Structure 1
Amino acid sequence: MKLAILSSMFALSVVTSGLAAAYEQGDIVIRGGATTVAPDESTSTIMAGGTDLGVDLTIDSNTQLGLNIAYFLTDRINLELLVATPFKHDVDFGVADPLGTGNQLGEVTHLPPTLTVNYYFNDSASVLQPYVGAGVNYTFIYDEEFTGANREAGLSDLSLDNSVGLSAQIGLDVMLADNWHINTSVRWIDIDTEASFKVGEASGQVSSIEIDPWVYTLSLGYTF
């Protein structure tokens, strides 16, 4: 029995000795993986030619390659920049086919770089490294376009404003050997915009679009 216990303790020490310490001041962390932007949107109704159409909008989710880089200001605090390949979202009418052109109004593409300050709770000896963070986001919105059916119906010149807002996140790093780790995080980002467009020669708008997405990430990271 004693021999079995000693053998188990020795095996455990070998396994844990291969795990790198978590983080120290000056460390640089780079991660890559899947990031999903899931809008929790609410919008005002669409105004077209001075008439309220009584229809709001919905925005679908999209998953892209998420990348981030973090620099540790102290052993427990880092500054992290989130970037990603462009997210593309379908924009749909809130009710079925109100204009007789199909349910989809159009699509938009955006980049949401987010700068966050994170605090890590555990010391560097822990395999599990939970953290919380808060920061600021700037969302670039571009390549806005209506579907072909809506363009044929006279809609054109769709434009959405860029957005600046706050963000918050919780996350967890699971430390592996040789400076590698697995990361998972959940963010909330305040993204507010408005849309303008043309209906023939008349102007149209959606004065309030609160996208406010939840952002889910699963990635693999390396510490330099």
Structure 2
Amino acid sequence: MKKQLIVIAALAALGMGVVQAQETPWLVRARAVNLDMTNKDSTGLGLTVDNKTIPEVDVSYFFTPNIAAELILTVPQKQTVSSNGTSIGTFKHLPPTLLMQYHFTGLNGYKPYVGAGINYTDISKVNLLGGVATLDKDSWGGALQVGVDIPLDKNWSINFDVKKVYIRTHVYAGGVNAGTLKLDPLLVGAGVGYRF
């Protein structure tokens, strides 16, 4: 009985050690991000969506020192749609993105990373040509990422980040599918991070 208790205690202690070794901090970042639309339009209407700078917040959880998951959030963004340079209306979109990342370590304090994942974009409040044209209600697509954290101290860091997000929607005119508008934005951002 004593041997069994000793074995159980040893396994419990070992398990606690593994949990402690794998405990990883949270990382929260705030960025300013320039949203640069690709604007590939198959409708023949010369459709484009404007570029803009948006606020972005992300939350990362590190499963190991190298592997992390990152959830990227912002507030609903209002975008202007133009046809051959003339504004034809607006819509709003909310594009949360979930990425799995690999973080490189041991590089003189610099912490570069790469990521890949999925984007879901909710499209709402579409007002094109006074309601004559509309868009899909949402979009699913992939996302790719590369970036670097530059630590300032134990908790704070500066962050530079580039993402390619695949967002597309069908365009409907009078209820008829007129083609596809691929936004596929490139997002270039800079900000600060806090690790805890």
Smaller-chain TM-score bracket: 0.7 to 0.9
How big is each residue's C-alpha offset from its partner over 1:80-107, in whole Å with a ceiling of 9 and x where there is no partner?
A: 00001222211111x25xxxxxx11111
The AA in structure 1 aligned to 2:52 is N
TM-score, structure 2 normalization? 0.82
2:38 partner SS:
coil
- For 1:132-185, what per-residue CA distance to the aligned partner results, in whole angstroms no more than 9, with x for missing partners? 111111011111113xxx43xxx5362333111111010010001241001110
Aligned to 2:63: 73
Task: Name the count of aligned residue pairs.
Answer: 175
The normalised TM-score by structure 1 is 0.73
Secondary structure of the residue aligned to 2:132 is: strand
What is the aligned-residue identity percentage?
31
Match of residue 160 from structure 1: 136
Equivalent in the alignment of 2:77: 87
Q: Which amino acid aligns with 2:118?
A: V
Residue 63 (str. 1) matches residue 61 (str. 2):
no
**Partners of 1:39 and 1:128 in 2: CA distance:** 30
SS at match of 2:55: strand
Map 1:7-46 to 2 at 5 A. 25-45=23-43
The 3 A distance-change label for structure 1 pair 211 and 144 is: same
Contact 1:92 1:104 in 2 (8 A): yes
Is residue 114 of structure 1 aligned with residue 97 of structure 2?
A: yes
Q: Secondary structure at the match of 1:26?
A: coil
Q: Deviations over 1:47-101 (max 9, x none)?
A: xxxxxxx4220111122210000000101110000001222211111x25xxxxx
Question: Which residue of structure 1 lines up, in the alignment, with residue 126 of structure 2?
Answer: 144
Instruction: State the alpha-carbon separation in 2 of the partners of residues 25 and 187 from structure 1.
Output: 28
Native 8 Å contact 2:58 2:72 kept in 1 = yes
Partner of 1:214: 186
Q: Is the 8 A contact 1:36 1:61 kept in 2?
A: yes
Q: CA RMSD in A?
A: 1.8
Q: Does 1:135 align with 2:111?
A: no
Aligned partner of residue 153 in structure 2, secondary structure: coil
